[in-house]
Structure 1
Amino acid sequence: MKTKISTLFALVLCIFSLNASAIKLSKDATISILTCAPGNELYSLFGHTGIRITDEANRLDIVFNYGTFDFETQGFYFKFAQGLLPYQLSCTDFDYFVRSYHREKRSVYSQTLNLDSIQKQYLMDLLVENYQPQNRSYLYNFLYDNCSTRVRDIIEKSTDNHITWTAEPSTKSFWNLLDEYLRRSPWTQWGIHTILGSPATSTATTREQMFLPDYLMYRLDSAAYNGNRLVEPIEVIYQAPEQDLSTPWYLSPFFVFAVCTLAFILLLQKYKSRRLLKAVAIPFFIATGIIGCLIVFLCFFTKHPTMFPNFNALWANPLNLIAAFFLGKRELPWIINKYISVYLYILIIGFLLWFLFIPAVPYASMVIFVWMMYLCIRLR
């Protein structure tokens, strides 16, 4: 019964009573950073971070969460694509928070901050201030402003930016960091690599690496404040069972693209039919054109900072949509013939440049380069 009263009290306190002076923590209150393991859904592939406030004197055990969004937001998907989807700071009961990760079989870890009572109160006041209706929303940015970086920033602010972050020098790029989580989902990996521009190949600093919850947890574990450890050793709140969620190699984009390309080439080499060639080419010109439109949209009409330049536009050209319309005609207009020739040269140059100094194209897409070059040569 006490737990139910405590939970109800905490939720009512969070929802109705939070203001700059609503909660005065006792001297025994603790503040912990919760790190949640990656999940299976796209939005949970990289894990999650929350801040737990525990204070028995106030019957308080709650979690502040900067990763909340509302599917009912008007124009949700369009705003998400534009980088204009508002995320919010939410507050929930700790038991409810952990149960949700238990259901999803995602481990939860905790690190207690070694702060004095004044700093704990200051951090709590900052959270309460952030939770005000006029402050709780922010424009989410996956690499630079998310549930993990917000936690890092508020910890730094509560300690007057006197934290010493220690880590071994790293040459990892944002791509390298993301790939650590995407290898088990190769199709998602290919998709993200396709839409992210070359800025994502830049090396991430120690501080920038903390956009990933796991990296924040490990950086906190080695961080120092006033010559002492910033946090207590990592504690396991819930250990999920091991799961093998990897995708078989024969279902990877590279293998599928390679097999399909080889099969189509053998088919078209055996049957020298112009009509069959066009029937095969049209869907691929449409698909690459649509992907090209998406890349152009992300590069020039969104707030995402790592989309331009994107060298995947060398094979995913929006003009392919127009070319696809004319491929169905008996005779190709001269301008379409000219476009196919120019597109072929672009593909050849892009393929060669990839070997030299453009790493920002996934390996699977190099098969698409080869396939589209073959189609252009046959269509000319």
Structure 2
Amino acid sequence: MRALAMALAVALVGPRTASAQGTTVTVPVPATQAGRGAGDRADAAADEDGRASGRLTEAALAGAASAVGAAAPGPPEPTPADVQAAAGMRVYLMTIGQGDVVWERFGHNALWIQDPARGTDVAYNWGMFDFAQPNFLGRFLTGDTKYWMEGFDARAMVDHYARNENRTVVAQELNLTAEQKARLRAYVEWNAREANKFYRYDYYRDNCSTRVRDAIDLAVGGALRRAIGGAPTGTSYRSHTRRLVAGSAATYTGIQLALGRPADAPIDAWEESFVPMRLMEHVRRVRVPTAGGAPQPLVLRTDTLYAARREAELASAPSYVIGYALAGLAIGALLLVLGRAGAAGRRGADAGFGVVAGLWTLIVGLAGTALLLAGTVTKHVFMGRNGNLLAVSPLGLVLFIVLLLAVGYRQPAPRMRWRGRAAKLAALLAVLTVLGAIITLLPRVGQESTELFALLVPVHLALWWALRPATGVTRPRSAA
């Protein structure tokens, strides 16, 4: 999910990483790589939450064999000695709340393992990636970005999110048996090996939070999935995305445009746990079998390590239909005024219409081409079957070229011919847009794009009307 926001952020709001835009980011020192310099690590990698600019996979850890690096042998089973050594361990689900930057709005999490016997205090983070990876941009655009997991000094991580980013940090101690703790530690240490740590990121189905969820589920023998899998939530991937990026107009619009019908499918509590804050809520209510067999709460206690001074996370997304409709009416009115004045022979108005209409159709055409490619030739599953293509399509590029010809000719006859052709294309675009708006409202067929069509319908109708042949007006004068 965050990857999608960051995908748009790369295009709309440039990435903020350890080296981008002059921003320096303090990355916690990895507890598993104490010999490396902190500066080298900060330049080499960015954690998913604050430093990243893309979040994009597809294989969940349904068990050890399907975990990261499935081609490699799975994690070893803990021995009796391992179980005995794990008895004094404490395991926490660390959840980091929302931040200021677009991709920080989705939260973050990690598995925190304290082992007094070993003297280690490690937070395992599945949200790592590196801009210097070979073909990073190509992988990013096609939905094939490689992420990895790594262990960090837990206290340094908490301090970073609290002091540097003013984000809430909550630690939930998990009620695990010694055997479950040993199994979890064996898994994360196996997963942290170079051969096993990489995975292909999917912003909804395989992200930092789902990896943490699956690791916990592995430790408790599938009890977490049995408890929350299939539990209805009344939410979808889109509904969570909308509420989490609400307030950022450009990103909100871009994500609404990019997501297709698959993002509107209802999701259960297991799937909803791709949002770290929702996983935190779900584990709080789960009861799992213990050594004695009696079900006990999965969470022993919850500690808020830092409470951020910021607005609370929205429970649901507000509706922006009226705002989008007003924006559409304003742009449409401008096109009508300039277009009809230009048709009456006012050269200044004609030039103004050409600029506004040309810019609009260029944006529509480029965005439509990107949507078409994303839904057909990439691994961005949730951008497929996108009804927005009816209104935002490559047809906009054709209309853009025809508009340039209509405005560019100085002689009346060719200007009128090209203007007529532009009017026909605009009429087709308007009809498709209205059709898309109708389909959007149909149950089981449409997708949640009402706000976008509230913007697009008045603009495309106005564009067509402005290009229609004028009656009872003076025809354009020849410049000769």
List gaps (5 residues or longer) in structure 2.
Answer: 1-27, 37-74, 290-294, 406-414, 469-480
Deviation at 1:11, TM superposition (A): 3.6
Give the fraction of aligned pairs with identical amino acids, expressed as a percent. 24
Q: Tell me the number of residue pairs that the alignment of Structure 1 and Structure 2 aligns.
A: 369
**TM (normalized to structure 2)?**
0.70
Give the CA RMSD over aligned residues. Answer: 3.1
Residue of structure 2 in register with 1:228 after alignment: 296
Whether the aligned pair in 1 keeps the contact of 2:288 and 2:296 (CA below 8 Å) is: yes
Gapped regions of structure 1 (runs ≥ 5): 1-6
Report Cα offsets for 1:269-295 as digits up to 9, x if no partner.
Answer: 566556343333111110100110110
TM-aligned CA distance change 1:141 to 1:272, over 3 Å? same
Residues 213 and 14 (structure 1 numbering): CA distance in 2 closer, same or farther, change over 3 Å? farther
Indicate how the Cα distance of structure 1 residues 11 and 53 shifts in structure 2: closer, same or farther if over 3 A, else same. Answer: same
Listed as ranges, the matches of 1:234-249 within 5 Å are: 234-243=302-311
Q: 1:233 to 1:266 in 2, by over 3 A?
A: farther
CA contact (8 A) 2:92 2:111 kept: yes
Question: How many Å separate the matches in 2 of 1:273 and 1:79?
Answer: 51
Counterpart CA distance in 2 for 1:9 and 1:324 is 52
- Say whether residues 1:291 and 2:362 are aligned partners: no
Say whether the 8 Å CA contact 1:10–1:59 is kept in structure 2. Answer: no
| 2:171 aligned residue | 110
Change (3 A) 1:73 1:179: same
Structure 1 residue aligned with 2:270, among 207, 219, 223? 207
CA separation in 1, counterparts of 2:114 and 2:313?
34
Does the aligned pair in 1 maintain the 2:433–2:453 contact within 8 Å? Answer: no
TM-aligned CA distance change 1:334 to 1:262, over 3 Å: closer
* Number of the residue aligned with 2:379: 303
1:53 partner letter: I
Per-residue CA distance 1:169-214 (angstroms, 9 max, x = gap)? 4322222222221223233222111101011111111211111001
Are residue 324 (structure 1) and residue 395 (structure 2) matched? Answer: no
Mark the CA change 1:82 to 1:104 in structure 2 (over 3 Å): closer, same or farther: same
Q: Are 2:121 and 1:53 equivalent residues in the alignment?
A: no
| Residues 31, 151 of structure 2: 8 Å contact kept | no
Could you tell me which residue of structure 1 aligns to residue 213 of structure 2?
152
Q: Deviations over 1:50-97 (max 9, x none)?
A: 000101221111110001111222333332221100010011111221
Residues 184 and 245 of structure 1 are in contact (CA less than 8 Å); yes or no, is this contact kept in structure 2? no
Could you tell me how far 1:261 is from its partner in structure 2? 3.5
Q: 1:367 to 1:333 in 2, by over 3 A?
A: closer
Structure 2 counterpart of 1:287, which letter? I
Distance 1:303 1:204 in 2: 20
Equivalent residues of 1:194, 1:362 under 8 A apart: no
1:374 matched residue in structure 2 = 462
Greater alpha carbon shift after TM alignment, 102-111 vs 271-280: 271-280
**In structure 2, C-alpha distance between the alignment counterparts of 1:378 and 1:193, rounded to whole Å:** 28
Amino acid at match of 2:185: M
**Structure 1 residue 315 displacement after superposition:** 1.2
Shift of 1:348: 2.5
Structure 1: distance between partners of 2:287 and 2:439:
45
1:194 aligns with 2:257: yes
**One-letter amino acid of the structure 2 residue matched with residue 225 of structure 1:** V
Q: Is the 8 A contact 1:166 1:222 kept in 2?
A: no
